[in-house]
Structure 1
Amino acid sequence: MVDTYVEPLAVAAHDIDRYAVVGNPIAHSKSPFIHTAFAKQTQQNISYERVLAPLDGFEATIRSLMQQGFKGVNVTVPFKFEAYALCDHHTEQAKLAGAVNTIKFTEHGIWGDNTDGDGLIADITHNLNTPIKGKRVLLLGAGGAAEGVFQPLLAQHPAKLVVANRTLDKAEKMVSKSFDAAIKSVACTFEDLKNQQFDIVINATSAGLSDMALPIPSSVFAENCLAYDMMYGRETPFMVQARASGAQVADGLGMLIEQAAEAFSGWRGVRPETKSVMEMVGAL
């Protein structure tokens, strides 16, 4: 199912390069607004669409978009691992993550990249002015979103990085990929978080899509903690819990826009400015 957004520039249809975001669910996505704003800002002739892929039909959806002449796609929940497997070539960021959120179709095959980590780091350190170096960081979840940001978080040299997940084996698998043995990275279940406190808590689960509360103790939020939910556009139970615990709370809109700028740059060869787009999308 394709939901087409307004083409950004008044040019003939055959002169427009087509892009899309693919996921399930997808109707909530603000990516079309963001990429349309980027296109206007940088004078790029593109259109950008929402595509709902069946849960068992991701590859078929991608192949169909290729046949229709699309130039590339963004990939969101729950297809980032499938996207990695589908790609013929991967950037170093994608290899480290084992997941793909940005695909480029070329004559040499399908290229996969992961811009989630760059987007998250830029939002936390630049937009929210919160350094990660030396901080105690908790990453909730071990799916594709978490995989995309684990290594970039390590690269910021936190004092420690704990990955908590409902099932321990997935968290342990992620932690085993750590490239820096000097940084303490630990895997645990949500139940193991009792008596632990963190300076930055990042929710990389999709629990917010269904308004599901995570089984984490409120004590994880240290004084002056930043609680960051990678979901956006709604007050999730995680954000409610963190706010009630006195934490500074942020959603993932800034990350979405920053990672979109990286993806746009990979497709078009020009990196757009993000501050004005953040203000525009935040007002929608």
Structure 2
Amino acid sequence: MSELDRYAVIGHPVAHSKSPFIHAAFARQTGQKLSYDAVEVLPELLADVLAQLHAEPYQGLNVTLPHKLAVAALCESVSERAKLAGAVNTLVRTASGWAGDNTDGVGFIRDLTVNLGVALAGKRVLLLGAGGAARGLIAPILAERPAELAVSNRNPWKPEELAEQFKALGPIVPRTHLSLKGDRYDLVINATSAGHAGTLPRLPGQIVAEGGVCYDLSYGTAAEPFCAWARAQGAVLSADGLGMLVEQAAAAFEIWRGVRPETAPVLAALRTPEPCGSGASHRHPHPRTTAQD
């Protein structure tokens, strides 16, 4: 084992993580010799564990909840896209510490545009949520030149702050969930954590446009409420975030190893035949117009 370059994902909890499976598959595919672990890290021990993993040494780390924000402050340098996202999900070992990066945004865009074939240019896009997950998507979405990017939250303050912070990259329309009534969007992205509690944001009536697409950053059971709502809205495609997970991992792997793995076979190995919410995207050739309040 000492001859292998060592990598890991850190989080709390982390036992459920699919990252060890994904990176082991990438390593086999590309002929890279490495090991990849899942390391449970309590928030109060984050700084100490990062120093320990650096000393062992680990060459790179993936970072999952709840450490993406806190780890940024512990890096000796942070990439521009990680600064914009306000979070770090990828660490690269340097001689004296860790360099931080964020591949979540590029992973989302690649899954949406390449894997699912959904273009953003000229589309009306609604981003539900204004926390760290949503923040990491804003710059990559604006770079695709949508006709409109609306960011919606339960209260208007966070979306208004984001509109101000990102105004140099493009306009953001700050909204509350209830103020969306009467609007229609070509793409609705759920970046809230409501699905983890089995619920949805409180949304008014029909907001998905005819031929519209819905995407939940969560996957598995956490994506089921939103994907069920998307089907009731008549979305032609409802997708969970498993593809984003694989694509952001591939981007991190390329940063570490200098080679980009093929994601399609790894994503296929993770997929099950169930519809969206159990790890798949679900297409609707005949959109329904049923609204759900």
TM-score, normalised relative to structure 1 = 0.89
User: Could you say what secondary structure the match of 2:238 adopts?
Assistant: strand
Partner residue of 2:206 out of 215, 219, 222 = 219
Q: Percent sequence identity over matched residues?
A: 49
The answer (yes or no) to whether the contact 1:218–1:242 under 8 Å persists in 2 is: no
- For residues 191-230 of structure 1, what are the structure 2 equivalents within 5 Å? 191-230=178-217
More moved, 232-241 vs 118-127 = 232-241
- The aligned counterpart of 2:128 is 140
- The aligned counterpart of 2:110 is 122
Rounded Cα–Cα distance in structure 1 between residues aligned with 2:158 and 2:74: 21
Rounded Cα–Cα distance in structure 1 between residues aligned with 2:45 and 2:160: 29
Is there any run of 5+ residues in structure 2 with no aligned partner, and where? 273-278, 280-293
- The aligned counterpart of 1:268 is 257
Letter in 2 for 1:147: R
Letter in 2 for 1:272: P
The answer (yes or no) to whether the contact 1:37–1:277 under 8 Å persists in 2 is: yes
More moved, 48-57 vs 93-102 = 48-57
Partner residue of 2:60 out of 58, 64, 72 = 72
Alpha-carbon offset, residue 55 of structure 1: 4.0
Q: Which runs of 4+ in 1 moved over 6 A?
A: none
Is there any run of 5+ residues in structure 1 with no aligned partner, and where? 1-12
- The aligned counterpart of 1:246 is 234
User: Could you say what secondary structure the match of 2:199 adopts?
Assistant: coil
The answer (yes or no) to whether the contact 1:161–1:186 under 8 Å persists in 2 is: yes
Structure 1 residues 32 and 103, CA, compared in 2 at 3 Å: closer, same or farther? same
Alpha-carbon offset, residue 218 of structure 1: 4.1
Alpha-carbon offset, residue 150 of structure 1: 0.7
Rounded Cα–Cα distance in structure 2 between residues aligned with 1:22 and 1:89: 19
Alpha-carbon offset, residue 87 of structure 1: 1.2
Rounded Cα–Cα distance in structure 2 between residues aligned with 1:22 and 1:208: 23
- The aligned counterpart of 1:237 is 225
The answer (yes or no) to whether the contact 1:218–1:241 under 8 Å persists in 2 is: no
Alpha-carbon offset, residue 261 of structure 1: 0.6
Structure 1 residues 162 and 226, CA, compared in 2 at 3 Å: closer, same or farther? same
Letter in 2 for 1:267: W
Letter in 1 for 2:270: V
- The aligned counterpart of 1:190 is 177
Is 1:51 matched up with 2:39? yes
Superposed CA offset, 1:60-99 (max 9, x none): 3323322332222111223222122221111221122221
Rounded Cα–Cα distance in structure 1 between residues aligned with 2:269 and 2:34: 19
User: Could you say what secondary structure the match of 1:65 adopts?
Assistant: helix
- The aligned counterpart of 2:286 is none
Rounded Cα–Cα distance in structure 1 between residues aligned with 2:167 and 2:257: 31
Letter in 1 for 2:266: V
Letter in 2 for 1:91: S
Superposed CA offset, 1:181-201 (max 9, x none): 6x4311222222222221101
User: Could you say what secondary structure the match of 1:69 adopts?
Assistant: coil
Rounded Cα–Cα distance in structure 1 between residues aligned with 2:229 and 2:63: 29
Structure 1 residues 78 and 205, CA, compared in 2 at 3 Å: closer, same or farther? farther
Superposed CA offset, 1:12-33 (max 9, x none): x101122122223323321111
Rounded Cα–Cα distance in structure 2 between residues aligned with 1:41 and 1:240: 35
Structure 1 residues 231 and 150, CA, compared in 2 at 3 Å: closer, same or farther? same
Rounded Cα–Cα distance in structure 2 between residues aligned with 1:119 and 1:187: 24
Is 1:90 matched up with 2:78? yes
Structure 1 residues 281 and 124, CA, compared in 2 at 3 Å: closer, same or farther? same
How many corresponding residue pairs?
271
The answer (yes or no) to whether the contact 2:181–2:205 under 8 Å persists in 1 is: no
User: Could you say what secondary structure the match of 1:21 adopts?
Assistant: strand
Rounded Cα–Cα distance in structure 1 between residues aligned with 2:37 and 2:205: 39
Rounded Cα–Cα distance in structure 1 between residues aligned with 2:44 and 2:184: 39
Letter in 2 for 1:161: L
Rounded Cα–Cα distance in structure 1 between residues aligned with 2:125 and 2:134: 13
Rounded Cα–Cα distance in structure 1 between residues aligned with 2:246 and 2:88: 17
